[in-house]
Amino acid sequence: MSHRPRIPAPGRRTVLRGSLLASAAAVVPPALTTAPAFALSGRPSASWGVQVGDVTSSSALVWVRSDRPARMVVETSATESFRRARRWHGPLIGALTDFTGTTPLYGLPAGEQVHYRVVLEDPHDPRRTGRPVHGTFRTAPATRRDGVRFLWSGDIAGQGWGINPDIGGYRVYDEMRRLDPDFFLCSGDNIYADGVLEPSVTLPDGRIWRNLTTPEKSKVAETLDEYRGNFRYNLLDDNVRAFNAQVPSIVQWDDHEVRNNWYPGQILDDARYTEKNVDLLAARSMRAFREYFPVPTLQGSPEDRRLHRVVRHGPLLDVFVLDMRSFRDANSPNRRPEDTTGILGAEQLRWLKRELSQSRAVWKVIAADMPLGLVVPDGATDFEAIAQGDPGAPLGRELQIAELLRHIKHQRITGTLWLTADVHYTSAQHYAPERAAFKDFAPFWEFVSGPLAAGGFPANALDGTFGPERVFVRAPDRANVSPMEQPQFFGEVDIDGGSGELTVRLRAQGGTVLFTKVLRPGRTGQ
């Protein structure tokens, strides 16, 4: 464990004050899920809670959603009493952003607990304000001795399993919150825009799963408002809002933010969709994604907005957040002898190589929204991820990964490890050149964890091109096992401030640690 003394989690009353909706019912009243009306009495309300994203040693981005037009104001303090509070004037929130807004915070003290509250002001009368919504987070440390600890997972509300009030909703979020991590890395599939939720589902053992339902979750998302409704859906859960108020996030996207296995330029052959142009659907989804998550790199001009980025979390850790969806080539048999587009696109690959070379962090986490050596098919002949089951020399999308791994070895970049979700089980793979067809790389680890609130699936086959060995796996033996039938999975990474050692724990909901691996800094071949 880290040598840094853990700062006690704030009291539940403080974190949740003014932020929680009423307990979820089986069907959500339309007033809680539709766009706010303009002719509302009273004061602005922020009952959807607060979020903080991409926290560094000196900065953060605070998010809120209002129920009407309002001015966003953020106050920060070193104490819960908010004595000597610092005030940040945010944007005017309106219909253009679905009444969501973000405010950047700069000049924060490193390695400290920051208490904040968001106040919404009536734009016509600043004296009329809503009840403050409270949250807290820790800034990244300035020195190694403090250590870093974070969680990761993905895959939320998928395969027909949504918020079930009978089991307390997404209880795994409450479990993760109680671990009090420095941040949470969501590895994609934050929503299932193509996943319809039925009011009830009969399980194989005869039990009934009940879903909280909304109009936007009753069909596949196509319009901007339907995508917005999908992102709002998870915020109906008490556990998610409490988690967001205490744990900052680093968020990436994958396919289900738009629809299953999508790629740029795709034209759908799916009777559920009246809009067949995936590029148009993706643009609508990205706009809603940008509105509902605090991601700093999405706040600038349209031509500068991108999801891939580096989040620097003190001297021990850089997180390289990839976008393996927006720049990929079309899904195919994936056996081309030349492929410059691959899964990252040429520009993103150059960016990643450059940033890895320049990083001075002890550990360099590559946050991938898809696994490397796991075979993920798309239909009978095509493939969705990087591997295609051919254990020989790199082909298709594997060529980009080979180029990256060669770069890491030849530039003597140490401390890399890959984290992902996507496949709906948890596992640990070690990659080594002596087992591989492609041998010009240094050994490394890849850890998989998920889902958080979706169906579980059997383990995928391995592709031998980069020599993966499955050291650990926990997966169901049949497809789409509900969260009532097996625990959900998430991972924990703990970097010790004294030794620099990095410990990975693969966890199951309920407090069980399934697998632990300790990695030493500055070494290869672990």
Contacts of 363 (CB under 8 A, 6+ apart): 316, 317, 318, 415, 417, 495, 502, 521
pLDDT digits (tens, 9 = 90+) for 377-430: 999 999 999 999 999 999 999 999 999 999 999 999 999 999 999 999 999 999
In 324-383, which residue ranges form alpha helices assigned H by DSSP? 346-358
User: Quick one: pLDDT at residue 525?
Assistant: 54
In angstroms, how far is the first alpha carbon of the chain from the final one?
Answer: 19
List the one residue out of 332, 328, 336 whose CA is nearest residue 380: 332
Task: Give the other-Cβ count within 10 Å of 80's Cβ.
Answer: 16
Residues 323 and 348 sit within 8 Å (Cβ to Cβ): yes
Residues 158 and 80 sit within 8 Å (Cβ to Cβ): no
User: Quick one: pLDDT at residue 113?
Assistant: 97
Residues 56 and 76 sit within 8 Å (Cβ to Cβ): no
Tell me the average pLDDT across 257-272: 97
User: Quick one: pLDDT at residue 524?
Assistant: 59
Residues 452 and 171 sit within 8 Å (Cβ to Cβ): no
List the one residue out of 454, 428, 480, 477 whose CA is nearest residue 164: 454
Tell me the average pLDDT across 176-204: 98
Query: Please, is 31 exposed, middle or buried when counting C-beta atoms within 10 Å of its C-beta (0-12, 13-18, 19+)?
Result: exposed
pLDDT of 437 > 70? The answer is yes
pLDDT of 40 > 60? The answer is no
pLDDT digits (tens, 9 = 90+) for 76-131: 999 999 988 999 999 999 999 999 999 999 999 999 999 999 999 999 998 899 99
CA distances from 293 to 1, 52, 296, 410 (A): 30, 8, 9, 37
Give 1 or 462, the one with higher predicted confidence: 462
Half-sphere exposure of 406 (CA within 13 A, CB side): 11
pLDDT of 185 > 90? The answer is yes
How many whole angstroms separate alpha carbon 368 and alpha carbon 342? Answer: 14
User: Quick one: pLDDT at residue 19?
Assistant: 37
pLDDT of 10 > 50? The answer is no
Residues 185 and 250 sit within 8 Å (Cβ to Cβ): yes
Q: Which of 30-39, 44-53, 75-84, 361-370 has the lowest mean pLDDT?
A: 30-39
Task: Give the other-Cβ count within 10 Å of 284's Cβ.
Answer: 21
User: Quick one: pLDDT at residue 357?
Assistant: 98
pLDDT of 1 > 50? The answer is no
Q: Which of 34-48, 440-454, 473-487 has the lowest mean pLDDT?
A: 34-48
